[in-house]
């Protein structure tokens, strides 16, 4: 990975944060909420300028952003253009608009990915043969497989669709496999021994893709966004119930993954940015103090009670939640750094 690969983290983080805060900002303006500041990043300001009633600023620490609206501070509760003076539906939509923009961004990027990369071909035709599998030669490349080869059988088991390949290879658990291949009408056999990479046994081949229509790609983006979101929620439930281990990655780990995908090509980076945007949107909807989800939860309580909660107490809860989140980020970052150092 080159320095340029690592620097891709800046526009990736920046795009996701900008879209998130733009959602809050645009809907707040729509409902007539006064916005004091639209900021990307935290900490000391680097660049700022005023336009109308709003200050636009770029800050030194590029790990987030915020839209500071009038009326969210207890001292501004009587401001008619303040956030807390607006109806509950207006406040809820303003808060939800941030995560929604992350889902919208992901849908657009995944549509672009499908349009650029194409749709996966379900027939077992090799689309790409990898040279490196986790620091070791890939069996497929060593065995002479080529893009366009069609896998007919593996150890005598017929291969009808692409998904049959990882299934049969995984069941073999690293044992040598005799693979019957068709290449331009000529059949031949090759014996390959799968290698283990990150807990899975692979041959080092990738599925082929076929470019589809632009309009179909536009519909597939939202569909994939929904599918990934559903899988994320299921994984979270399984982690909370102890059915699977909790896997967290902080800014360092995410930056490393961005650099890895950037080094593999911009198409990979496109998919990863969409995936991270989905994660950002869903994470912000969790009912954790300081996140958008907790604001929505307090509004739900307000709607049930029929009267507003004490703003000072709500702000205090959000403040301590923010401190806990910063502490969690530090812990996860330490783990990412430790893993990176030991990995070397």
pLDDT in tens, 225-250: 999 999 899 888 888 887 776 677 77
Task: Give a yes or no: residue 194 inside a domain.
Answer: yes
Q: Is residue 161 a part of any domain in this protein?
A: yes
Q: Residue 297: its pLDDT value, please? A: 94
- Res 151: pLDDT: 95
What CATH number is given to the structural domain containing 160? 2.30.42.10
| Residue that terminates a domain, selected from 178, 210, 242 | 210
| 104 belongs to a structural domain | yes
Summarize pLDDT for 326-339 with one digit per residue, the tens: 787 787 777 777 76
The top-scoring range by mean pLDDT among 118-122, 142-146, 196-200 is 142-146
Q: Please indicate, yes or no, whether residues 124 and 98 belong to a single structural domain of this protein.
A: no
pLDDT in tens, 187-229: 999 999 999 887 788 999 999 888 777 888 889 899 999 999 9
Residues 274 and 314 grouped into a single domain: yes
pLDDT at 301: 92
Residue 273 counted as domain residue: yes
Query: For a pLDDT cut of 90, what percent of the chain falls above it?
Result: 52
pLDDT band at 33 (very low <50, low <70, confident <90, very high): very high
pLDDT at 71 exceeding the cut of 90: no
Domain identity same for 8 and 105: yes
Question: What does the pLDDT read at residue 177?
Answer: 94
Domains in the chain, number: 2
The pLDDT of residue 263: 85
Residue 69 inside a domain? The answer is: yes
In the predicted model, is pLDDT for residue 270 greater than 70?
yes
Residue 199 has what pLDDT?
A: 76
Domain assignment of residue 154, yes or no: yes
Classify residue 237: in a domain, yes or no: no
Is residue 162 located within the same domain as residue 184?
yes
The verdict on 44 and 31 lying in the same domain is yes
134 shares a domain with 96: no
Question: The domain containing residue 277 runs over which residues?
Answer: 3-117+256-343
297: CB partners within 8 A, 6+ apart: 287
Residues belonging to the active site: 21
pLDDT value of position 1: 62
Q: Please write the tens of the pLDDT for every residue from 37-70.
A: 999 988 888 999 999 999 999 998 877 899 999 9
Dist. CA 310–CA 177, nearest whole Å = 67
* Residue 342 confidence (pLDDT) above 70: no
Highest mean pLDDT pick, 16-25, 165-174, 317-326: 16-25
Q: What is the pLDDT of residue 172?
A: 86
Same structural domain, 7 and 106: yes
Q: Which of residues 184, 210, 236 is at a domain's end?
A: 210
Do 70 and 36 form a contact (C-beta atoms < 8 A)? yes
Please tell me the predicted confidence (pLDDT) of residue 339: 67
Q: Which residues pair with 178 in a beta bridge?
A: 191
> Which residues have CB under 8 Å from 194's CB, separation 6+?
139, 169, 172, 174, 175, 177, 201, 202, 203
Other Cβ atoms closer than 10 A to 319: 12
CA 252 – CA 338 distance, rounded (Å): 10
For the chain, what is the mean pLDDT? 88
Q: Which two tokens stand for residue 187?
A: 């059949």
- Distance between CA 265 and CA 152 in Å, rounded? 30
112 and 125 fall within a common domain: no
pLDDT at 120: 77
**Regarding predicted confidence, which is higher, 225 or 75?**
225
Q: Give yes or no for a contact between 18 and 40, defined as CB atoms under 8 angstroms apart.
A: yes
Could you tell me if residue 316 is inside a domain?
A: yes
154-200 pLDDT, tens digit each: 999 999 999 899 989 988 888 999 999 999 999 999 999 999 887 78
133, pLDDT greater than 60: yes
Checking 129-133 for CB contacts under 8 A at 24+ apart, the result is: 129/204, 129/205, 129/206, 130/204, 130/205, 130/206, 131/204, 133/195, 133/197, 133/202, 133/204
Give the Cα separation of 29 and 36 in Å (integer).
Answer: 11
- Domain shared by 137 and 112, yes or no: no
**Domain end point (choices 210, 240, 274):** 210
3-state secondary structure the chain: CCHHHHHCHHHHHHHHHHHHHHHHHHHHHHCCCCEEEEEEEEEEEEEEEEECCEEEEEEEEEEEEEEEECCCCHHHCCCCCCHHHCCHHHHHHHHHHHHHHHHHHHHHHHHHHHHHHCEECCCCEEEEECCEECCEECHHHHCCCCCCCEEEEECCEECCCCCHHHHHHHHHCCCCEEEEEEECCEEEEEEECCEEECCEEECCEEECEECCCHHHHHHHHHHHHHHHHHHHHHHHHHHHCCCCCCCCCCHHHHHHHHHHHHHHCHHHHHHHHHHHHHHHHHHHCCCCCCCHHHHHHHHHHHHHHCCCCCHHHHHHHHHHHHHHHHHHHHHHHHHHHHHHHHHC
pLDDT at 95 over 80: yes
What pLDDT score was predicted for residue 77? Answer: 66
Q: Are residues 181 and 269 in the same domain?
A: no
Q: What is the pLDDT of residues 272-302, one digit of tens each?
A: 999 999 999 999 999 988 899 999 999 999 9
């Amino acid at each position: 990975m080159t320095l340029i690969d690592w620097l891709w983290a800046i526009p990736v983080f920046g795009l996701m944060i900008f879209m998130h805060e733009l959602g809050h900002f645009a809907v707040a303006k729509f409902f007539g909420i006064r916005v004091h500041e639209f900021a990307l990043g935290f900490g000391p300001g680097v660049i700022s300028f005023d336009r109308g009633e709003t200050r636009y600023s770029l800050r030194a620490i590029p790990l987030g952003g915020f839209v500071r609206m009038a009326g969210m501070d207890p001292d501004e509760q009587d401001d008619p253009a303040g956030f807390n003076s607006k109806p509950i539906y207006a406040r809820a939509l303003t808060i939800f608009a941030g995560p929604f923009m992350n889902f919208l961004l992901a849908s657009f990027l995944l549509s672009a990915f499908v349009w650029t990369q194409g749709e996966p071909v379900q027939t077992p035709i090799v689309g790409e043969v990898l040279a490196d599998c986790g620091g070791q030669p890939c069996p497929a490349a060593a065995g002479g497989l080529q893009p366009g080869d069609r896998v007919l059988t593996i150890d005598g088991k017929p291969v009808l669709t692409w998904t049959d390949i990882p299934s049969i290879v995984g069941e073999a658990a690293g044992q040598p496999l005799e693979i019957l291949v068709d290449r331009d009408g000529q059949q031949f056999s090759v014996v390959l021994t799968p290698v283990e990479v990150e807990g899975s046994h692979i041959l080092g081949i990738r599925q082929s893709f076929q470019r589809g229509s632009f309009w179909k790609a536009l519909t597939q983006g939202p569909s994939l966004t929904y599918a990934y979101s559903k899988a994320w929620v299921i994984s979270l439930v399984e982690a909370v119930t102890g059915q699977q281990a909790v896997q967290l990655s902080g800014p360092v780990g995410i930056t490393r993954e961005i650099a890895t995908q950037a080094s593999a090509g911009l198409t990979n980076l496109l998919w990863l940015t969409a995936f991270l945007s989905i994660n950002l949107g869903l994470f912000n909807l969790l009912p954790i103090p300081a996140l958008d989800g907790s604001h929505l939860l307090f509004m739900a309580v307000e709607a049930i009670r029929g009267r507003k909660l004490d703003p000072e107490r709500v702000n205090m809860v959000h403040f301590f939640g923010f401190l806990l989140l910063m502490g969690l980020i530090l812990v996860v970052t330490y783990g990412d750094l430790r893993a990176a150092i030991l990995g070397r």
